[in-house]
Structure 1
Amino acid sequence: MDEVKAACQATSEIAVSDGYLRIAAATPKIRVGDVAGNAAAILECVDAAVRAGARVLALPELCLTGYTCGDLFHDRALLRAAESALSGLLEDTSDTPLLFTVGLPVAHRENVYNCVAACCAGRLLGLTVKRHLPNYGEFYEQRWFAPAPMNGAGFIPFAGQDPVPLMGGIVYTCSDPGLEDVRIGVEVCEDLWVPNPPSVDMALSGGATVILNASASSEVLGKSAYRRSLVSGQSARLYCAYAYANAGEGESTTDLVFSGENLIAENGSIVASTSLFSREMAVADVDLEKLTAERRRSNTWRAGEWCMGHLQTIDFSFAETGEDAPAAGESIADAPNQPAVLPAEDTELLLNSALDVLRPAPRTPFVPADPTQRAASCEEILDLQAAGLKTRLAHTGTHSAVIGLSGGLDSTLALLVTVRAFDMLGLPRTGVHAVSMPGFGTTGRTKSNAERLAEQLGVDFRTIAIGGAVRAHFADIGHDPSVTDVTYENAQARERTQVLMDLSNELGGFVIGTGDLSELALGWATYNADHMSMYGVNAGVPKTLVRHLVSHAADSLGGETAAILRDILDTPVSPELLPPTGDGEIAQCTEELVGPYELHDFFLFHMMRYGFAPGKIYRMACRAFAEPGVDGAPAYEPATILFWLRTFYRRFFAQQFKRSCLPDGPKVGSVSVSPRGDWRMPSDASAALWLEEIDSLTA
């Protein structure tokens, strides 16, 4: 991996970050009431997080005193010790570029509040007060604490620092250059378990991309699974990263046990977690660019009337020190001898490059890695495709479907889907007409597989050779048949489409399209030929997924059908438009011409799904493809990735005109190029900006 990283960095003129923020959640080993000892344990967690490269650390609720202090929370000695210990922690971390939380009780006037202090580089940023105090079952928090005042308690001096906000809704926003997506909200334990958590306001009104939860959630049978669902669900609803730090060893076990389970979720997925009772630290790189992209593409992501709106925004810099911190009401820029922000050249130290993340992107983002999940997804996708076609067949009253069956992957999948749709409708499979149209490049292997598959599936099969018609067409337009150029190839593709269209008229049916999502993205289709149909069942399925769908069908069907499907899977992907080799093998291999589909599908997913720039996609790919895949797929050198990335962008922009007039077809995943749905792009958009960025990556 070090060699790949060096090679990738050698193609860039400057150090870069790709928007990955490393966050951590940890549980210090405490003793109830031992404030000084707990402060030392907290400092150990801070040091461990810094060593792990984290920039944000969540710690548990009331960890400075212990959550289980009971009536001791009203003791002035404990309250004063907590404030003094926090002051010491701030002093000890004055040169530490880490935002971390500390849970402690805070007394103000007649109330004691359950608070979380946000600290960074020696500065106390604010005191978030717990809003929802549980007083049921084993919880008695209303006995000791007051809930967060609706409009906050104002700014109060605390821990030897100038006044900071004491309230229930605070969002900490980073003012360092390039870190505008670093916006951190804090809520406390039960706040997450209520119908409308404070984090909703923090994300919608305050723009928080990261939520830290300081928790003391006792452990009972089955609670861990529910807790994980809450954390992952909230991160999905808010398009955010959610770090949950739970109390653990050292809390009183008089009546309860605390497991110290720490969780980090990103947009619905748990990306890091610790085992119960392990005292481990959860660490993960969360992609702030991805989270922001999700919010931008969702037009329902808007602050509405349901938002409370009682928020305070506090700016901070990872460069600040406590002794130079600005006073209340004073901007960071006005503070004496205090740089407002880190120098721009230092910000790459705070957000990570895709080359440095702990969790590299999967090689095949369209395909689930887990075999059980993959099989279930394949079955669901086949049902989605078939259901779309079933509805179209029923609507038109059509009992006949025509498919050009080449013996390749895409037409095989289209046939499997069409048969499934006919079965759903209770129509005889003989209404499915599979047509082999051998041309100048057709091999015996593919033609034989097409015929045998049709026989096994019980559909009508016929052969209509196109050689004579194409030669006559060459004569009509004056083309020399010995010149195997684009005219030579496309004339065959268009003749096949004419045969299918006219045959569908003859049979009272319609033509099923076979082209897949990857081909449509690259424009690897002949305009008004295989590009056109009456319903494209594969339009939402990328090539890497097509393989798994056909493989899943082979596993499900078994027998001779499975053997045929597996031979089709082993056949090189080819349009078979050029004459075979001397020994009758396929001469034209698609992936040698346009590039590996595994790479193109990776590029396509991250460009369309999240709007990532070419440079970030390149670095993500360098990391993802540094080693061979578990299925034996090859590794790719950075130079190879860069070459095909440029090909992808060049073709994607140049071929939009084909996508602007695609036939109908079902969307089955999160990416689609339908001009009526997910992708609206002018056909004459310039690719110069994107190609320039790619060219800037070359050595």
Structure 2
Amino acid sequence: MGRKVTVATCSLNQWALDFEGNLRRILRSIEIARNKGAKYRLGPELEICGYGCWDHYFESDTILHSYQVLAQLLVAPVAQNIICDVGMPVMHRNVRYNCRVIFLNGKILMIRPKMVLANEGNYQEMRWFAPWPNSRQAEDHLLPRMIQELTKQELVPFGDLVLATKDTCIGTEICEELWMPHSPHIDMGLDGVEIFTSSSGSHHVLQKAHTRVDLVNLATLKNGGIYLMANQKGCDGGRLYYDGCSMISVNGSTVAQGAQFSLDDVEVLTATVDLEDVRSFRAEISSRNLMASRVVPYTRVKVDFALSYHDDVLVSTSEPIQWHFHSLGEEISLGPACWLWDYLRRSERFGFFLPLSGGLDSSATACLVYSMCCQVCQAMSNGNKEVLADVQRILNRDDVLLLDPQKLCGQLLTTCYMATQNSSQDTYNKAKELAEQIGSYHINLNIDGVIKAVVEIFRMTTGKMPQFLVHGGSSPEDVAMQNVQARVRMVFSYLFAQLSLWSRGIPGGLLVLGTTNVDECLRGYVTKYDCSSADINPIGGMSKADIRTFIQYCIERFHLICLRSIMSAPATAELKPLAEGQVAQTNEEDMGVTYKELAVFGRLRKMGKAGPYSMFCKLINMWKEICTPREVADKVKHFFRKYSLNRHKMTTLTPSYHAENYSPDDNRFDPRPFLYQSRWPWQFRCIDQQVMKLEGVEGDQDFDDLV
């Protein structure tokens, strides 16, 4: 009697609406799984069309083309004699569902719709799909005629079903269902399902992998069983990076781990497991067996097919392994760099243009491109033909074989120090040294002439000449004089991105990289349409603290010694006049709040769901050792005033790699108003009343006094 089975799960770098490429990668994964002896192959969520189609799910074309791809999969020779589990949108009775389609030897066995949809943060699945509401219930689904002609089936089971082979039973979950409080695998396991599968479109957030791995292992620890998790990888067309990390778990232990960050478009993970291990594990859990005896059974779709072989005594099984987690610095180095590579090779551009100021943020962005070059070179040295072909196409050279990271960075990254009379020699030197160490093509230019011309046009038109505050000007004049410098830098960034390669006799244009971090975006400490406005921003979802961690990692990993002085210098925009040649402006002084405080405000505001009063109440305890209640109140009110006054800037944020869950990006992640009552009279009154109580002051102030 057969008892050992080999199963496969996949991480695929799918691309929204790239049906041809997606089909090719799915077929490749099935071929690899078969060659490794697998009888069951699981792919990521919505792999046929790509997860990030968004409002394209409303279009009938998306479903039509998904069925066309499914038709080719059904008849593909490589997809025979292996159960294939693929993801696509399906219209059932005029309702769109996010589904798994499971087929074998040209026949569709069943269609399992997603029952719990991801509908928070970056996800809006309820906008496009309906959840299947009928637990343990199924209906007949009428197949499209193009599929009927191939399979000779008119109707197939559609609903909350499990698949029964000759030797085991397989149950399906889809992404969010693993994360919900009462996951389907609980009831399926009690009903005798031995193999659980989860197809996922789970994006990377710093340190999220720990939670994901714990969820999968816990699913089989309490109930026994075999769990396969397949995840999308790469940038499929938006801000998110899906980080792979597919895995296989048996009875609470990981037996196979996929790469979290990789430039391989197709990764197939297999494990050979013993079904009797599951049965033995469950046998001694008396509480589980008592519950199992009372469970409401699932409808089983039976298939005349076995995952195991009759004679498998000599077949060895996969042993438990220790999961390797990346450090925080490694995650930042690898994730955004992979995202940059996907964006570059799929955007039909020929490199990046980066305004390099010599400060921490732009230096971190430059280091991410360098990290990307390191990964690309490593992939080529490992024999990755797809990466090599992409490099040859981007560089427009067929003779590229292997490059070192510095040489590749010199061809893919153009850095530019844009000096004004307010720039220091120190930042000039830092930018120059970093460019030399990573190998970027570096440009130095002075933009004072253009700035003076712009201000002169204003003087000629109005008869007024604005001045900096230190030169006797007003605060509005000072801000305007700073902003014109920043906005001129944006103009030059796009000019050089479009023409710098042309000026060197090289065809093509460059993608402009932004360099604003998530804390500055939260506070609104950016100039609208300045040099933070770019094509993409790899650090726009990272806190200043995480960026500092990454810079320290680069010093140790890449030996970029010049970063030590960059990290020790105070953050400055260098937009105000120098004082005796030295920087007289720091970001934290300008903002009136530290980066560390901003990170706390951001997490409480977004993740803690705290308004001004709730935030004050939380912080008087968190900061009781360093601040009085009145000082806390002043900090909270200052933050919310500035946050609300600058909220409109979030409507124009450059698309950023999503790494922090307190991102204020209102284009996708943070749908809050951008026109506020910035004085927050009611909320601030509540804070002031609480401060007075804590200080022992009797009585209430008049409301008019507080506004």
Same fold (TM over 0.5): no
Larger Rg: 1
TM-score (norm. length: structure 2): 0.42
User: TM-score, normalization: structure 1?
Assistant: 0.42
The structure showing larger relative contact order (alpha-carbon pairs under 8 Å, at least 6 residues apart) is: 1
